[in-house]
Amino acid sequence: MGYSFLPERDIWQHAPILTGSTKFEPQQDVKNIMITGGEGFIASWLVRHLVLTYPGTYNVISFDKLDYCSSLNNTRALHEKPNFTSYQGDITSPSEVIDCLSRYKIDTIFHFAAQSYVNLSFGNSYSFTETNVYGTHVLLESAKTVGIKRFIHISTDEVYGEVAHGNDDLPEASILSPTNPYAASKAAAEMLVNSYQKSFKLPVIIVRSNNVYGPHQYPEKIIPKFISLLQRGQPVIFHGDGSSTRRYLFAGDAANAFDTILHKG
């Protein structure tokens, strides 16, 4: 019995390419930028932004193992751009990381790649340690080996733990007190990043972002998940007594922030 398939729809070709809005004078010592997790939600926003905002200036290499929450569709519109490359690799593989760094003469790393779904960390915490801690260690050691000029590590505000209601604005130097395996793995990764700065003078910046939302987000996260449930007429579930609050940052604004950190950090 034969099968027939619908031709691929080309709607995506007519859709706007979503990026940030900032643009700076290019950094003279930045040429080849590796973005780990570049096919994922937040990182792909920065990939698209840098590729399209700085053509002929920055070469952007998206390094991603293409896990369940990543998609090549997130950078599909860039595949013909001369300053974009997609490299399928795993940050826990030293040989793949070194190959990418050496092959593309990387001078700057944005490290986004991570296991980030908090609920999964309760039942599969080993994978969070492997990816978020060991994977970061592999990147740091590889960056030290090849002499990276900038290592920008994307962490999370969850390393601070639970914050009392009405005390939302914590000083950056507040004590880290993670309350779940995901947050603990990100806090541990930060310790490694700091140790490489102090021990080996690796030029690092740590960014503690809060919750990000926007197009291209995988539907396991609360905003796209709730929208999807409501569209189907299904109930949404809130845990706790309903008094908890969250702050959210639009993905385009996050891309602007990372662009600013690259040029002004």
By annotation, the residues acting in catalysis are 157-158, 182
Residues with Cβ within 8 Å of residue 124, at least 6 apart in sequence: none
Cα-flanking dihedrals φ and ψ of residue 107, to 5°? -115, -15
Residues 6+ apart with CB under 8 A from 93: 138
Which amino acid would we find at residue 49? H
Amino acid letter, 253: D
Q: Do residues 147 and 73 lie in contact, with contact meaning Cβ atoms separated by under 8 Å? A: no
Whether 182 and 158 have beta carbons less than 8 Å apart is answered as yes
Radius of gyration of the chain (CA): 19
Measured CA to CA, the distance from residue 43 to residue 37 in angstroms comes to 6
Those residues with Cβ within 8 angstroms of residue 251's Cβ, 6 or more apart along the chain or in another chain: 18, 41, 42, 45, 212, 213, 214, 215, 216, 217
Q: Which H/E stretch holds residue 183?
A: helix 181-200
* DSSP H or E run through 137: helix 135-146
DSSP letter for 75, please.
G
Per the structure block, which two tokens stand in for 14? 């007519």
